[in-house]
Amino acid sequence: MNDLFSEIDDIFHSRSLAIYGVSRKGGLGNILLQGFIDQEFPKIFIVNPRITESNVKIMGIPVFSDLKSIGEPVDLVICSTHPKFVRDIIIECGENGVKVVIIFTAGFGEKNEEGKNAEEELLKIARKYKMRLIGPNCMGLYCPSSKLSFFPALPTESGSLGLVSQSGSIANLMGFLAMLKGIYFSKAISFGNGIDLSFNDFLEYLGDDPATKIIACYMEGVNDGRRFIDLVKKIKKPIIVWKAGVTPAGSKAAHSHTGSICGNNKLWNIVFEQYGVIRVYNLEEMISMIQAFIKPIQVTNCRVAILSGPGGPAVSSADACEMNNLKLAELTNETKLKLQELVPEFGSSISNPIDLSLQVAFDPMLEINAYEIVGMDPNVDMMLIWLSMLNPRYKDLIKLQEKISKPIALVSAIDVNVSRDSFSGTMKRFIQIRAKKVPKIIKDMNQKGISIHPNEHLAAKALYNIYQFYNKSKKSIVLKQ
């Protein structure tokens, strides 16, 4: 652990904070404040120079006309004012011993040359006072264990996922989406233009942070490619990267979004493959891959068994596996004999992909018995299972996984969080699990190396990525030596 680690870790352990930009009529600052109130952050102050009366409170939080009047040290400042006020606020913070300022305010380097110059000046001031900056044009930090937040209603539960995002909205959306799938955060960072602490700094921090077991990144560009490569080489935790701005159009958009230079996409791919970085292209893929890497099970080969009752999806799943460089497992004769005894004579198939037939609709034990037979086959390294939708058998599967211990990717064509109320009439009866219970169920499955996906292609991609992570990247070669 180096100085940078301690410095960022101190920021995450700030004990008091002040917000600029909260007003009586409401606005973005008030939203940010609500985030901290929801997490029950212990010591919050509002600074608003327009409010000069004493003993004023907004949203229950005391308001001061300047930092000094607070009369006690403030570790962290959130700045959500018009950009023209930011410079003076930074100076005020420096003079009052603030350790870090999160500049939520936009309208700097991403806007024009003038904004870039303003950023340089802010940085100069911060350096003078040995103060760190996050932003501008960012959401800031979310860390449920130390009650930091950047948006209202984010979970107070901690988890093992660390997120670094160049986009604040994606950091927010990830909070929502992750919660639906029972995924929780150790830390999430939205650093925007990143004029001081930036992508690589936070990536390095998460690499060393003991609470973070898996790292997800949304990035448009990095300002030090060499350091990024060194970091992904060094960090042994799974790193999932959504690199946007991969086409000329996207790259141009990224430039006006966070002022990023995106670089050559092919080069990125080479780096990602060499160092076992898992690449995704949208939020849906991101959530799929995170699930698969919450507790990935090590494999040395990638022979997949596909199980489905009934058969149509089995064919497409075989396609999806082959498209994702997986091999279809050759089942042993023993497995085939056992399956033959188990599955109905007709409308089924006991060679991989295994079609359990429509009989699964009546015989709840058929599926789970088949999973066990196939999962114990020494020729099977991983399993792709089509569910149609989540059903109460998940409990048996979790139990069974203690015996099998192989990566399992489930496909549920109907989103697992879909409400029973979306269905009309008797269709409701097919939704066997209450939406409320779903996040916890997925969390329990993820903890056992079982992930659940909206289609067979993402399921196959997840399985291949696990194999790739342990076997194909330079990182894994180093790890094995």
Stretch that binds its own copies, among 44-52, 59-67, 141-149, 424-432 (CB under 8 A): 424-432
Note whether 385 and 409 are within 8 A (CB). yes
**Window contacting its own copies (CB under 8 A); options: 164-172, 375-383, 398-406, 470-478:** 164-172
336 forms part of the interface with its own copies (CB under 8 A)? no
Burial, 333: exposed, middle or buried (Cβ in 10 Å; 0-12, 13-18, 19+)?
Answer: exposed
**Tokens linked to 18:** 């002040």
Among residues 4, 66, 83, 379, which is the contact residue for its own copies, using CB under 8 A?
A: 83
Taking the alpha carbons at both ends of the chain, their separation in whole angstroms is 24
**Contact (CB, 8 A) for 81 and 20:** yes
* Residue 281 near its own copies by CB under 8 A: yes
Site string for its own copies, 207-246 (x = CB under 8 A): -----------x-x---------------------x-xxx
Task: Tell me which residue of 205, 212, 278 sits closest to 240, measured CA to CA.
Answer: 278
In the list 267, 323, 365, 477, the residue contacting its own copies (rule: CB under 8 A) is 323
Return left, alpha or beta for 357; rule: phi > 0 is left, psi -120 to 50 is alpha, else beta. Answer: left
Stretch that binds its own copies, among 15-23, 196-204, 396-404, 431-439 (CB under 8 A): 431-439
425 binds its own copies (CB under 8 A): yes
CA distance 84 to 87: 7
CA angle 365, 370, 375 (to 5 degrees): 130
Q: Is 357 in the site for its own copies (CB under 8 A)?
A: yes
Say how far residue 271 (Cα) sits from the centre of its chain: 21
Which alpha helices (DSSP H) does 98-224 contain, by range?
Answer: 113-128, 168-180, 199-208
Map the footprint of its own copies across residues 1-30, applying CB under 8 A: 26-28
Q: Shortest distance, CB of residue 293 to its own copies, whole angstroms? A: 20
Q: Does 247 bind its own copies (CB under 8 A)?
A: yes
User: Between residues 155 and 276, which has the closer beta carbon with respect to its own copies?
Assistant: 155
Asked if 173 interacts with its own copies (CB under 8 A), we say yes
Q: 248 or 378, CB closer to its own copies?
A: 248
Q: Which is nearer to its own copies, 359 or 471 (CB)?
A: 359
Distance CA 236, CA 457 (A): 26
Which of 208, 415 has the CB closer to its own copies? 415
